[in-house]
């Protein structure tokens, strides 16, 4: 068996044909940039990319600082004797709560309860109308009695109450993380009302 190719075999062997695409020659780029140049180019871009990433991160911290502006959920409001009888509006803006002091026809108790300032219709903030002795929502006209019970307009249920008690130092302490809904019978929970003698 001979490995010698005949002229015809040589003609039909694809490997023996002249390549259609010429072998690549050194390009202008290859000639211009040595491996050392390439190293520094890559290093430079890496440093630039890293600095942009760090700068973007710092800008993000500046634009969106990790600070919470949510008002606290629990707080002391002062001593019982310092509260006027009726609806106290001093804490409406800061804590979104009214403090009511007096007799509560809903629970038939005397003392304090904390009412949410969020209308139970669509969440607007009602106003306390002293002359009419009611809360009135400016958005769609819902009205609430001083107890928080709804009696006019589209509000489907009473205002919510928050947990209230005396702190160790004798101040009124409200905890908004615990709410009580009248329609669920939760106003009967003793934590929703601070009994206190007004005598």
What are the structure tokens assigned to 107, written together? 């629970």
Query: Smaller CB distance to ligand FES: residue 41 or 122?
Result: 122
Query: Smaller CB distance to ligand FES: residue 80 or 146?
Result: 146
- 149 sits near ligand FES (criterion: CB under 6 A): no
Please classify residue 149 by burial: count the beta carbons closer than 10 Å to its beta carbon, then call 0-12 exposed, 13-18 middle and 19+ buried. Answer: middle
State the minimum distance, in angstroms, from the CB of residue 95 to ligand FES: 19
Residue from 97, 119, 163, 172 in contact with ligand FES (CB under 6 A) = 119
Quick one: which segment of 7-15, 82-90, 152-160, 186-194 binds ligand FES (CB under 6 A)?
152-160
Q: What is the rounded (10 degree) CA torsion for 52, 53, 56, 58?
A: -110
End-to-end CA distance of the chain: 127
- Size of residue set near ligand FES by CB under 6 A: 13
What are the structure tokens assigned to 61, written together? 């911290």
Contact 121, 153 (CB under 8 A): yes
* Residues within window 123-142 making contact with ligand FES, judged by CB under 6 A: 123-124, 137, 139-142
Residues that bind ligand FES (CB under 6 A): 119, 121-124, 137, 139-142, 153-155
């Amino acid at each position: 068996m001979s490995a010698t190719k005949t002229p015809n075999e040589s003609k039909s062997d694809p490997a023996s044909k002249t390549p259609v695409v010429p072998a690549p020659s050194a390009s202008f780029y290859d000639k211009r940039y040595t491996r050392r140049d390439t190293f520094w180019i890559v290093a430079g871009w890496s440093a630039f990319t890293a600095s942009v990433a760090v700068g973007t991160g710092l800008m993000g911290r500046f634009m969106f600082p990790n600070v919470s502006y949510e008002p606290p959920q629990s707080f002391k409001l002062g001593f019982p004797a310092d509260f006027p009888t009726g609806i106290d509006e001093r804490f409406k803006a800061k804590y979104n709560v009214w403090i009511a002091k007096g007799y509560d026809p809903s629970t038939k108790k005397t003392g304090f309860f904390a009412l949410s300032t969020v209308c139970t219709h669509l969440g607007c903030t009602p106003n306390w109308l002293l002359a009419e002795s009611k809360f009135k929502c400016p958005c769609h006209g819902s009205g609430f009695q001083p107890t928080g019970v709804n009696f006019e307009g589209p509000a489907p249920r009473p205002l919510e109450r928050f947990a209230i008690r005396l702190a160790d130092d004798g101040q009124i302490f409200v905890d908004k993380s615990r709410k009580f809904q009248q329609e669920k019978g939760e106003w009967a929970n003793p934590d929703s009302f601070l009994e206190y003698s007004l005598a």
